């Protein structure tokens, strides 16, 4: 089992809350499915964080399977930081200031 730890930046937590609230208004099942898919994504990333290509700012991007969101993360030592859970249609790289 991997000893890597996944932590969400406060901004990423806000991204998730916003998305869940949006889905909750439309379909409680969709909101639960989104949360479950996000948990699965974090588990997959944790198992092999370097599997996805390295991008700007030493971040990587994992695309969710059924929702139009990307998980933006980086790994330092044994900690994986999720910087953003970004909607595909949101302005690109809005999360970059979080990395300072």
List the chain domain ranges.
5-89
Q: What is the pLDDT of residues 17-60, one digit of tens each?
A: 999 999 999 999 999 999 999 999 999 999 999 999 999 889 99
Q: Quick check: pTM over 0.85?
A: yes
Of 8 and 91, more confident: 8
Distance from C-alpha of 25 to C-alpha of 46, rounded to nearest angstrom? 30
Structure confidence at residue 56 (pLDDT) = 83
Helix (H, G, I), strand (E, B) or coil at 67: coil
- Topology of domain 5-89 in CATH is YaeB-like fold (3.30.2310)
Whether 84 has a pLDDT exceeding 60, the answer reads yes
Output the average pLDDT for the chain.
93
Q: Where are the alpha helices (DSSP H) in the chain?
A: 10-26, 28-47
């Amino acid at each position: 089992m991997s000893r890597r730890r996944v932590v969400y930046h406060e901004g990423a937590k806000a991204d998730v809350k916003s998305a869940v609230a949006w889905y909750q208004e439309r379909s409680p099942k969709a909101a639960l499915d989104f949360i479950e898919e996000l948990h699965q994504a974090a588990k997959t990333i944790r198992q092999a964080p370097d599997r996805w290509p390295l991008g700007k700012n030493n971040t990587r991007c994992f695309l969710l399977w059924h929702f139009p969101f990307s998980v933006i993360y980086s790994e330092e030592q044994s900690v994986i930081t999720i910087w953003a859970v970004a909607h595909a249609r949101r302005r690109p790289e809005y999360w970059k200031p979080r990395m300072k």
